[in-house]
A and B are shown apart, each in its own frame.
Chain A
Amino acid sequence: AQSVSQHNHHVILSEAASLELGCNYSYGGTVNLFWYVQYPGQHLQLLLKYFSGDPLVKGIKGFEAEFIKSKFSFNLRKPSVQWSDTAEYFCAVNKGGSQGNLIFGKGTKLSVKP
């Protein structure tokens, strides 16, 4: 069955540190890839998405993610985090051309210390 793995349950960083959150998926066909963010007390928001083309995708708030097909990975990165980036981050995958049922990873909590 299709699955999504996020390697880190909780990441703690100081402001200005660089961030990389891992995401791997198990499906071998064409996929669409997403990162969602949930700030404390808020609902899930789309951070960025990849369908095709340039494997380096830029999202909102300085985030980017790189799709590496050979590694089945879609890691999220940010060069310099801020306290306001404290949130839970979810990677999600769906099969390209499907009805679009997203399969989510278990999420990674990011805590940024001021």
Chain B
Amino acid sequence: SQTIHQWPATLVQPVGSPLSLECTVEGTSNPNLYWYRQAAGRGLQLLFYSVGIGQISSEVPQNLSASRPQDRQFILSSKKLLLSDSGFYLCAWAQTGVYGYTFGSGTRLTVV
């Protein structure tokens, strides 16, 4: 069966520090992969999606970047975190995108 792993679960980072959040999917190949941010009162905002290795599309301009070095690995990064980057980050995968997503357990990022 397919599983999605996301880590770490919580992270506290100082302003200006780098960030790397990792997401991996098992049990499937060539999934569509997504990074969402969930901020209080703002719902879920799509940040990046990827339909294949090395293919990244950004939905909103921001301080973050994403990479997909392997088929089932999706990484969210920042060179210098801002206070406004605090939030709950969710990785998700879908085989075609039409049938709904499966979400990871999320990472709570607090920038101090």
Q: How many residues of A contact B (CB 8 A)?
A: 27
Q: Which residues of B contact A96 (CB under 8 A)?
A: 98
A112 and B43 CA atoms in complex are apart in Å by: 21
A102 and B47 CA atoms in complex are apart in Å by: 11
- Is there contact, CB below 8 Å, between A98 and B97? yes
Interface size class of B (residues with CB under 8 A): 20 to 34
Instruction: Identify the 8 closest CB pairs spanning chains A and B, nearest first.
Output: A100-B97, A106-B43, A104-B44, A44-B103, A43-B105, A46-B100, A107-B43, A43-B103
The chain B residues found within 8 Å of chain A, CB to CB, are: 32, 34, 36, 41-46, 49, 51, 59, 90, 92, 94, 96-106
The chain A residues found within 8 Å of chain B, CB to CB, are: 6, 9, 32, 34, 36, 42-46, 49, 51, 90, 92, 94, 96-107
Known: A46-B102, A100-B97. 18 other contacts (CB 8 A): A9-B41, A36-B103, A43-B90, A43-B106, A44-B90, A45-B103, A49-B100, A51-B98, A90-B43, A94-B98, A99-B49, A99-B51, A99-B97, A100-B94, A100-B96, A101-B59, A104-B45, A106-B43
